[in-house]
Amino acid sequence: MRILIAGIGNIFMRDDGCGSFLAEALEGKVEADVQDFGTGGISLVDELEKYDVIIILDIADINEDIKVFEVNDINEDDIVQTVLSMSFGGSHGLGIEDILTILKSKGSKVKIILLTCKPKILNPGIGLSDECLKNAFLAIDELEKILKQFNVKVDRNEIKEALISRIRRIR
């Protein structure tokens, strides 16, 4: 089973970089492919189709500190909205929702799990707010549970240390 952990985010917009920072901390520390896709785009679609399971790390406007979503069904309205997004926004401005809709509309059977963190600061700057860093730690704990379902072991303390080290280097 091929598993991809995909970090999404803009590291130059503070907490928006959470998924990217998490991906960097995970690299070489889990028995799965890990990639930082930055702000994404249409080029992601072909890469993502190579996997059986994709776990996407990103921020989201949620009430909880972290939240897990499983992407199962995409309806026709989602597809229409994606086409409009591509028409008016250009292919470089595709959001993660658009990419997931394209994958599903192509008949992809990949299992997609979104692991999201609540951001605090979305202003220009580099590094995570203390609140988002706390949420990133919670996300690492949750990721361990998710990966356990696929018999992938995680040393969450090693990953947390790598994340702290990275954030300290840029502060």
At the top level of CATH, which class does the domain 3-164 belong to? Answer: alpha beta
In the prediction, which pLDDT does 111 show?
A: 87
What gap in Å lies between CA 140 and CA 77, rounded to an integer?
33
* Tens of pLDDT, residues 105-144: 777 788 889 899 999 999 999 999 999 999 999 999 999 9
Q: How many CB atoms lie within 10 A of CB 19?
A: 30
Q: What is residue 114's three-state secondary structure?
A: strand
Q: For residue 59, which of 13, 106, 11, 19 has the smallest C-alpha distance?
A: 19
Digit-coded pLDDT (tens) for 138-158: 999 999 999 999 999 999 999
pLDDT in tens, 46-95: 777 889 999 999 999 889 999 998 876 545 454 444 444 433 444 335 66
| Pair type for strands 66-71 and 3-7 | unpaired
* The one-letter amino acid at 90: G
Q: How far apart are CA 52 and CA 75, in angstroms?
A: 21
Distance CA 142, CA 94 (A): 27
Ranges of each domain in the chain: 3-164
